[in-house]
Amino acid sequence: MRTAYQYKLKPNKEQVAIIELWLHLLCRQYNYRLSERFLWWKENRCAINACPLIVPIPQLRDNPDYYSQKKDLVNTKDKFPEYKLIHSQVLQDCIKRVKLAFERWFKADKNGQRLGKPRFKKKSRYRSFTYAQIKQDCIEEKRINLPKIGKVKFIQHRPIPDGFKIKTVTISRKADGYYVTLSLEDKSVPTFDSDVEPTPENTLGIDMGLKDFLVTSLGKSVPIPQYYRKSQKRLKTLQKRLSRKKKGSKRWLKAVKAVAKQHKKADATPRRPQSQGNAHQAVADKRKDFHFKTANELLSNYEVIAHEKLNIKGLAKTRLSKSINDAAWGQFLAILTVKAVSAAPPQEANAGQKIMAVNPRNTSQDCSNCGKKVPKNLSQRTHSCPHCGLVIDRDVNAAINIKNRAAGHPVLKARGVRCNSRTVKREAHTIA
Ligand SMILES: [Zn+2]
């Protein structure tokens, strides 16, 4: 099983200088390797239907790949001795990032999603580097020993769980300082794949919405806590302030930082120690606490929890992205999944639970009773079916649909009808 812990770093001035220098050099290296790959395409490209009469004969060379670029690092170090200052594995990891960026451009991932063309990075957008491996005893009391940087103070607000080994270490710069992320692995704990079969009895459907945090298929709703809204309001104020500043000015930069900080607070960031907690941090903590409590409550009563498959990327393209709930849903589902999966025996209580993501198509449009489509817009809060006469809250209807997609529709299944029909045409931008 693999997990990641993040801690706040407290580097001294010299260490900050080293980290910043590395980030700067790595950014340069990244851009150079990217251009090397682009250049190869440019030199070897030819129009599909014609060959130009005058052809510049480029030096024939191999398409730069991960291995050739990695090999070439020797030349880089020769030409630019400052690269010798960087830990060799950190430098190699930079090449790996170029490789990954290209792979994600050409090939779709398992969800069929492809990313865009890799972009050159500005210095401010290159914010992290990774040690591919590290000694297990790198952590001493309140300090982490990073090769070629030295012992850096950090706030270990929680200990590394027993039996876990540190696989990789990533240092990143964020709006409010530097962080270290440890990727941990315990091979003895298998990634637990529950084999519980979802049935109408053991399954609960949840519909996550804008009005309520979530609504269950039994009609119970969990409201959005007040502090969400407050945090969102603050973000709006800050963004308004930012828009009034002259771009590039000192005040503008200050406003940018303030927005970034607020975003981070709103994000699903790991918990920071209470000691330096300010009012806003308390909000993030509170929210996480709320997520844990909600997850516990759901898992204490049901073996299978079904939710809509969230398309965070798609969501970001619509006006709903303004909602602070985007990040919150992601965090909540992550907590829910981890809680259901990781607490394998000996804590039998949580073992054998399953979180299922179902196809979100038309969950709010279809009738949960007869399966027929009942079109409605976002403002219609009640589902009232002209076919079978069912009248219930629209979110509850959606939650029941979600449950049925996981567990099967009790009536339709018996009749042999597939309730999750794929022939229904998708409506553009219906998310609800
Ligand atoms: Zn109906």
The rounded Å distance from CA 404 to ligand 1 centre is: 14
The contacts of residue 5 (CB under 8 Å, 6+ apart) are 158, 160, 181, 182, 184, 270
402 Cα: distance to centroid of ligand 1 (angstroms): 15
Q: What pLDDT score does 426 carry?
A: 33
Contacts of 205 (CB under 8 A, 6+ apart): 216, 217, 306, 307, 399, 400, 401, 402, 403, 404, 405, 406
Tell me the pLDDT tens digit for each residue of 39-63: 887 777 666 676 666 666 655 667 8
pLDDT of residue 228: 65
Q: Are 378 and 432 in contact (CB under 8 A)?
A: yes
pLDDT at residue 330 in the model = 77
> What's the CA-to-centroid distance between 413 and ligand 1, angstroms?
15
Tell me what the pLDDT averaged over the chain comes to: 79
Q: How far is the CA of 391 from the centre of ligand 1 (A)?
A: 9
* 291 CA → ligand 1 middle, Å: 33
Share of the chain above pLDDT 90, in %: 28
Higher pLDDT, 411 or 8: 8
Task: Residue 165: name the closest of 203, 144, 143, 136 by CA.
Answer: 136
Distance 384 CA to ligand 1 centre (A): 8
Separation of CA 403 and ligand 1 centre (Å): 16
Q: Which residues contact 301 (CB under 8 A, 6 or more apart)?
A: 204
Q: What is the pLDDT of residues 204-240, one digit of tens each?
A: 999 887 678 889 999 888 887 776 667 777 878 888 8
Contact 216, 206 (CB under 8 A): yes
Dist. CA 214–CA 310, nearest whole Å: 14
389 Cα to the center of ligand 1, angstroms? 6
Q: Is the pLDDT of residue 251 over 50?
A: yes
Residue 367 Cα to ligand 1 middle (Å):
5
What mean pLDDT comes out for the span 297-317? 75
User: Ligand 1 centroid to 302 CA: how many Å?
Assistant: 26
Are the C-beta atoms of 205 and 403 separated by less than 8 Å?
yes
Residue 371 Cα to ligand 1 middle (Å): 6
pLDDT higher than threshold 60 for residue 391: yes
CA 214 to ligand 1 center in whole angstroms: 23
pLDDT attached to residue 362: 85
Angstrom distance (rounded) from CA 280 to CA 175: 14
Span 313-323, average pLDDT: 51
**Residue 269: band (very low, low, confident or very high) from pLDDT cuts 50, 70, 90:** very low
User: What's the pLDDT score for residue 338?
Assistant: 78
Q: What is the pLDDT of residues 108-159, one digit of tens each?
A: 776 667 778 899 999 989 999 999 999 988 988 889 999 999 999 999 888 8
pLDDT in tens, 73-112: 999 999 999 999 999 999 999 999 999 998 888 887 766 6
- Residue 431 pLDDT greater than 60, yes or no: no
Measure 424 CA to ligand 1 centroid, in angstroms: 16
Q: What does the pLDDT average to over 355-383?
A: 86
pLDDT of residue 94: 95
Top-confidence residue, 41 or 385: 385
CA of 393 to the centre of ligand 1 (A): 13
Compute the distance from residue 292 Cα to the ligand 1 centre, in Å.
35
Give residue 215 CA to ligand 1 midpoint distance, Å.
20
pLDDT grade for 160, boundaries at 50, 70 and 90: confident
In angstroms, the CA 111 to CA 101 distance is: 17
Output the furthest CA–CA distance in the chain (Å, rounded): 78
pLDDT, residue 132, reads 93
User: What is the DSSP track for 35-94?
Assistant: HHHHHHHHHT---SS---SS---PPP-PPP-HHHHHHTHHHHHHH-GGGGGS-HHHHHHH
Q: How far is the CA of 432 from the centre of ligand 1 (A)?
A: 19
Centroid of ligand 1 to alpha carbon of 355 (angstroms): 27
Cα 282 to averaged position of ligand 1 atoms, centre (Å)? 45
Report CA(426)–ligand 1 centroid distance (Å).
19
**Ligand 1 geometric centre to CA of 305 (Å):** 24
Tell me, in angstroms, the distance from the centre of ligand 1 to residue 395's CA. Answer: 15
Of 44-58, 250-264, 324-338, give the range with the top mean pLDDT. 250-264
Sorting pLDDT into bands at 50, 70 and 90, what band is 428?
Answer: very low
pLDDT, position 419: 42
Q: What is the Å distance from ligand 1's center to 398 Cα?
A: 13
The alpha carbon of 431 and the centre of ligand 1 are apart by a number of angstroms equal to 21
Residue 277 is predicted with a pLDDT of: 41
User: What's the rounded mean pLDDT across residues 318-323?
Assistant: 48
